[in-house]
Chain A
Amino acid sequence: MHRSPMAPTPPAPVPAPSLVDTLFQRSLGDLVKFLRADPSAAGESTAVARALSEIHREIRAPDAATKATALQKLTYLSSLHFAPVASHPLAFPAIELIASPFLPHKRLAYLAASLSLHPASLSLLPLATHQLHKDLSPSTSAAASHNVSALALQLLASPAAAAAPDLAAHLAHDLLPHLSRGSPRAIAAAARVIAASPSAAVPILFKPLAACLASPDPRASTAAAAAFCELSAPPADAAPFLPLAPDLYNLLTTSRSNWALIKVLKVFGRLAPLESRLAARIVDPVCQLLARSAAMSLTFECIRTVLTALPAHDTAVCLAIGKAKEFLTAEDDPNLRYLGLLALGMLGPTYVSTVHECRDVIAQSLGDADSNIRREALHLMMGMIDRNNIMDIAGMLVSHAAKSDPEFANDILGAVLAACGHNVYELVSDFDWYVSLLTDMARSLHCAQGDEIGRQLVDVGLRVQDARPELVHSSRTLLIDPALLANHLLCPVLSAAAWVSGEYVNFTKDPVELVEALLQPRTSLLPMSVRAVYIQAVFKVITFCCNSYVERLSDSSKEVAVGLNGLSIDETVSEGRKAPLVSGDEQITVPSMMEKDPFSEKSIIHMIDLIETTVGPLFECNEVEVLERARNLIGFVHLIREVQELKESKVDDDEKHSWVKELVKNMQTVFSQEIGPVSLNAQEKVSLPVDIVLNETLAELDDIVSEDDTTPSSSILFYPRSHGSIENRNEPALSLGSSSLLSEHRKRHGLYYLPTGKTEDEPVDYPHANDPLLPASNESSLDDKSNTAQPVTGGKKLKAVKSRPKVVKLDGEDFLSSMVPSANVPKEDSLSGAVRGVLLDRDLKPSSSQKASDKAYEGIVNKMETGGSSSQWKNNVDAELVGHPTSSSRPSIQPSHEKESTNPLESDGKEVKEPKRHRRSSRGGHHQGKHKHRERHSTQPDVPQAPIIQDFLL
């Protein structure tokens, strides 16, 4: 009978379905078969599209039967195949057909309307108002009218009615006869109507609806209980339903329908907290139900009601807890176990001990096959944690994470990290334990919480002084493990471990091992941002070792007068000594007790060798951050080397050796300043100096601004590096460069700076804003960069008066958490991108190395201006410029300008003027340094670009 699926269906511009259409129309069954003929997705969608176009035509047929079948098919497509109803308005034909006197059509139409009407098609619903009104009113044929009104009620109870308040208000009166009859449909519809337009419907419908609660017909009372349960649901206020309490109570004590009881209990659960007398009243019946009922759904509802609404009634709560525990131990029913856990989670803080009693069961549930149960158990576990049991629970959870599937393992780790880190480690009292727990977590199999673990490692280091030895120890175990380096999820942790090891290097037992770990070949697997941290850590370690050696030798030289005097300079310098020290195989004249000592010259030379072979190749690196740090480190190492060579050539130069000593000490001071957390409000607490004039002197800037600031480059000087504000803090050579830039900036815009008590001719010594005692100025740069007014922290450390170690905590606590993770974010793209572009455009190596050396050079030049420590910096210059003769002939150029500018030549031209103008006084020193370098250049070994053992890195 039906048209072949393959038959072409004309687009039918004129919707005039003929009798043929009616006769050959596909029925719903045909449509379903047609759709199932090609189960592939493409086949189905074409079939749906074809059927839709067919229906589109058929549905306009004047013939009701054709229309009804089309509507039925459309309903099918829209509800199961989600055909777009908007383009094939289902609502209009449905409403047309609702008026049909023919029951099957009417039924189809109501079905279509109740399925398809939603707020988007509501504009059509008012068209149906009259028909609904007619269908709701009683007519002659009893049976038929019952059915018809049932259909109409069904439509009113559908979500469409809730969105059409007008319709509901108009039809409220029509519901009354049906309500009085106790029809569940009418009750549900009344509830919808009341919810849709309370102002219009409540006066009419509320009382009849309430009367249904007392209806002898259990269907009516159940439906009414459900209706009130829905009306009093949370977004609404339950208080207006308090007067219904007697009827509900009656239902509670007499009803035998579990369905009704559950609803009544729900309503009481909302009403009882509002009225304490009510709570006292319902306790007994609820307890009886709880004790007697065999239906688990009702039992659970009673438990929920007691635990949430009647927490003050101890006997009831105990009974409920007893039942909940039964649920927990239901071995064969995961549903009950889940609900048992859920019930325990509802217990208020007064019953924490009960939860503790169930700890074993909960712990067992952590290993349940069902992720819902596991998650709920974890939730309960976290709720149990307090200061006394945190070690137990967290330790247990972390060991459990190792056995769990990756997703849940990370849920566990995340929850433990959040709980322990909550409110600045409020719950943690043993930080040694916590630090080792953090490393355990990092090593845990599926750990993807590297960011947070890394953040907390650094954070604990900053805040908890007492934890640092353990922190360094734990970091060592992470760093020396080559297996971890390949795991990219752990990079943030390794980065933090490297930073911690470098920062608190004084707690390291074996610095040589640490350097070896930081420079092991597999570090090449690390992302560049982490490598930069590694290199920086090496820098700190080597500085520390040198300093320790120098210090100790100068100490011992007091005791053993002559012989060790020469030695004292030896490790780094030593001019008077004859024994050559360049390579490790040479005879060492240091006393034997020092040989295994990390601070012996042998081990220092070993470290230096290692650094040169592994860090040297990084000069080729494209990543500026790594490049820069590598250069800094190598520069320092060369400095030490050079001194050795001087010594070899037996140049006796006391001054030399004293300045090398000084150099090492100075480097050490660079790193020695404690870094603490910084309050969010720190900036505000810097008091405004009295003599600062904010408004008057701006005019003086004009000439400067017009000449120098036309390039946007000055802004880059203080661009907050997203890359490691903390790491940068201790980056000596970088800060040499940047502090010189800073001083440059300061010179130009001095009035924006807080007074330092020194003249601007000594820009490098400019101290922190209100902490003039801070030793070296080298750090100042990064404080400015990261906008952290560091000095303020000192006064802001809160002393926790507990047995636990002091944890530095500031008021603006979120600040750190937001700041620290950014340490691992790669450097800003625009900058590195621009640099990379420049590097790729022109001859790659010269410009890149030049840039770096320029930067260092600039810093050094500025350092020299300070006068006091000029001698040591001269050497620095030499070291930096070795192998880069081009830079010596160039005027100093601010590297950031070059980076920033897309046209370096142009910016060069501008910049050349500027230093001349401002640095006239320092020219002498500048040139001197350059000359010195030239003299020595020939004698220098060609170190930095020396062929490196490339394989070592791979």
Chain B
Amino acid sequence: MINFVLLISRQGKVRLTKWYSPYTQKERTKVIRELSGLILSRGPKLCNFVEWRGYKVVYRRYASLYFCMCIDADDNELEVLEIIHHFVEILDRYFGSVCELDLIFNFHKAYYILDEVLIAGELQESSKKNVARLIAAQDSLVEAAKEEASSISNIIAQATK
């Protein structure tokens, strides 16, 4: 099971965190500090796994972002590597050649996509098409709701409430 997902920029800035096991806020900060030190210092052409506190952290670098997932010691490292790639491809498809800024300004969307890919630390949807379709459907629902809410009559109704 994946214990948490981290996206860290090359400068050590955190771009996304998702915790599938309970960690307190303090622990989270500590974990991130430790891991960014560990992973960012690794050179290229090394293997994508880091042993850390009895867990394994599988990471992969895409452009300036490190995608890291922490798994249990007996989990399948290569599978998680594939999950990371899967997630990146979906992000790429959704944002259209995704870059770090997309994730910074649409952080909640990144979360929604991640929630479609992973649930409770396991892959839930292995089809990229499906994920794209689901996200698009959700977006359209939300947009519809928003449009309805921001119609003039609604604003007036709210203002005069």
Given A19-B159, A102-B145, A119 and B22 contact (CB-CB distance below 8 Å):
yes
Q: Verify if B21 is at the interface (C-beta below 8 Å from A).
A: yes
Q: Which residue of B lies closest to A44 (CB)?
A: B13
List A contacts of B14 (CB < 8 A). 80-81
Alpha-carbon separation in the docked complex, A335 to B111 (Å): 28
Q: Verify if A138 is at the interface (C-beta below 8 Å from B).
A: no
- Segment touching B, from A226-234, A604-612, A914-922: A226-234
List A76-118 residues whose CB lies under 8 Å from chain B: 76, 78-82, 84-86, 102-104, 107-108, 111, 114-115, 118
In the complex, the answer to whether A104 meets B78 with C-beta atoms within 8 Å is no
In the complex, the answer to whether B49 meets A191 with C-beta atoms within 8 Å is no
Q: Mark B86-122, 1 if CB is under 8 A from A, else 0.
A: 0000000000000000001101100110010001111
Q: Show 22 residue pairs from A and B whose CB-CB distance is below 8 angstroms, ordered by the A residue.
A: A32-B105, A36-B104, A63-B158, A80-B16, A82-B32, A111-B111, A114-B115, A115-B19, A118-B22, A119-B24, A157-B120, A184-B119, A192-B120, A219-B124, A219-B125, A222-B123, A223-B124, A230-B1, A369-B43, A371-B46, A372-B51, A373-B47
In the complex, the answer to whether B108 meets A338 with C-beta atoms within 8 Å is no
Q: Verify if A29 is at the interface (C-beta below 8 Å from B).
A: yes
Alpha-carbon separation in the docked complex, A338 to B16 (Å): 28
In the complex, the answer to whether A120 meets B126 with C-beta atoms within 8 Å is no
List B contacts of A84 (CB < 8 A). 25
Of B29, B108, B142, which contacts A72 at CB under 8 A? B108
In the complex, the answer to whether A370 meets B47 with C-beta atoms within 8 Å is yes
For the A-B complex, the count of residue pairs with Cβ-Cβ distances under 8 Å equals: 162
Q: Which residue of A lies closest to B1 (CB)?
A: A230
List B contacts of A78 (CB < 8 A). 25
Q: Verify if A273 is at the interface (C-beta below 8 Å from B).
A: no
Q: Verify if A300 is at the interface (C-beta below 8 Å from B).
A: yes
In the complex, the answer to whether B126 meets A222 with C-beta atoms within 8 Å is yes
Alpha-carbon separation in the docked complex, A72 to B107 (Å): 10
Q: Verify if B129 is at the interface (C-beta below 8 Å from A).
A: no
In the complex, the answer to whether A104 meets B77 with C-beta atoms within 8 Å is no
In the complex, the answer to whether A75 meets B126 with C-beta atoms within 8 Å is no
Given A80-B15, A259-B123, A335 and B141 contact (CB-CB distance below 8 Å):
no
Q: Which 8 A-B pairs have the closest CB atoms?
A: A297-B78, A334-B47, A226-B122, A188-B120, A184-B124, A157-B120, A370-B46, A297-B79
Q: B-side binding surface: helix, strand, loop or mixed?
A: mixed
Of B49, B81, B104, B159, which contacts A32 at CB under 8 A? B104
Q: Verify if A311 is at the interface (C-beta below 8 Å from B).
A: no
Q: Verify if B76 is at the interface (C-beta below 8 Å from A).
A: yes
Given contacts A36-B104, A84-B25, 5 further A-B contacts (CB under 8 A): A82-B28, A189-B119, A266-B74, A335-B49, A373-B47
Alpha-carbon separation in the docked complex, A300 to B120 (Å): 24
In the complex, the answer to whether A159 meets B22 with C-beta atoms within 8 Å is yes
Q: Verify if A473 is at the interface (C-beta below 8 Å from B).
A: no
Most chain B beta-carbon contacts within 10 A, residue among A19, A36, A184, A222: A184
List B contacts of A257 (CB < 8 A). 126
Alpha-carbon separation in the docked complex, A118 to B140 (Å): 31
List A contacts of B108 (CB < 8 A). 28, 72, 75-76, 108, 111
Q: Mark B45-85, 1 if CB is under 8 A from A, else 0.
A: 11111110000000000000000000010101111011000
In the complex, the answer to whether A301 meets B76 with C-beta atoms within 8 Å is yes
Q: Which residue of B lies closest to A151 (CB)?
A: B115
Alpha-carbon separation in the docked complex, A120 to B25 (Å): 10
Interface residues in chain B, defined as those with a beta carbon under 8 Å from any beta carbon in chain A: 1, 14-25, 28-29, 32, 43, 45-51, 72, 74, 76-79, 81-82, 104-105, 107-108, 111-112, 115, 119-126, 137-138, 141-142, 145-146, 149, 158-159
Given A19-B159, A104-B145, A115-B18, A334 and B104 contact (CB-CB distance below 8 Å):
no
In the complex, the answer to whether A185 meets B48 with C-beta atoms within 8 Å is no
Q: Mark A311-347, 1 if CB is under 8 A from B, else 0.
A: 0000000000000000000000011011100000000
Q: Which residue of B lies closest to A337 (CB)?
A: B47
List A contacts of B77 (CB < 8 A). 297, 300, 335, 339
Given A147-B141, A159-B20, A301-B79, A76 and B47 contact (CB-CB distance below 8 Å):
no
In the complex, the answer to whether A338 meets B49 with C-beta atoms within 8 Å is yes
List A contacts of B119 (CB < 8 A). 154, 157, 184-185, 188-189
List B contacts of A573 (CB < 8 A). none
Alpha-carbon separation in the docked complex, A147 to B29 (Å): 32
Alpha-carbon separation in the docked complex, A63 to B159 (Å): 10
B17 to chain A, nearest CB (A): 5
List A contacts of B120 (CB < 8 A). 157-158, 188-189, 191-192, 230
Of B15, B25, B79, B142, which contacts A104 at CB under 8 A? B142
B22 to chain A, nearest CB (A): 4
List B contacts of A72 (CB < 8 A). 108
A695 to chain B, nearest CB (A): 55
List B contacts of A375 (CB < 8 A). 51
In the complex, the answer to whether B78 meets A300 with C-beta atoms within 8 Å is yes
Q: Verify if A541 is at the interface (C-beta below 8 Å from B).
A: no
List B contacts of A79 (CB < 8 A). 16-17, 107
In the complex, the answer to whether B145 meets A296 with C-beta atoms within 8 Å is no
Of A223, A230, A262, A338, which contacts B47 at CB under 8 A? A338
Alpha-carbon separation in the docked complex, A598 to B115 (Å): 83
Q: Verify if A143 is at the interface (C-beta below 8 Å from B).
A: yes
In the complex, the answer to whether A297 meets B141 with C-beta atoms within 8 Å is no
List A209-243 residues whose CB lies under 8 Å from chain B: 219, 222-223, 226-227, 229-230, 233-234
Alpha-carbon separation in the docked complex, A745 to B126 (Å): 83
Alpha-carbon separation in the docked complex, A114 to B123 (Å): 17
Q: Verify if A486 is at the interface (C-beta below 8 Å from B).
A: no
B154 to chain A, nearest CB (A): 10
In the complex, the answer to whether B23 meets A118 with C-beta atoms within 8 Å is yes
Alpha-carbon separation in the docked complex, A114 to B121 (Å): 13
Q: Verify if A163 is at the interface (C-beta below 8 Å from B).
A: yes
List B contacts of A189 (CB < 8 A). 119-120
Q: Which residue of A lies closest to B121 (CB)?
A: A230
A144 to chain B, nearest CB (A): 7
Q: Verify if A136 is at the interface (C-beta below 8 Å from B).
A: no
Q: Which residue of B lies closest to A101 (CB)?
A: B145
A320 to chain B, nearest CB (A): 15
Alpha-carbon separation in the docked complex, A160 to B16 (Å): 19
Of B1, B19, B47, B122, which contacts A335 at CB under 8 A? B47
In the complex, the answer to whether B76 meets A86 with C-beta atoms within 8 Å is no
In the complex, the answer to whether A76 meets B107 with C-beta atoms within 8 Å is yes
Given A184-B125, A185-B124, A230-B122, A335 and B78 contact (CB-CB distance below 8 Å):
yes
Alpha-carbon separation in the docked complex, A296 to B82 (Å): 10
Q: Verify if A366 is at the interface (C-beta below 8 Å from B).
A: no
In the complex, the answer to whether B141 meets A103 with C-beta atoms within 8 Å is yes
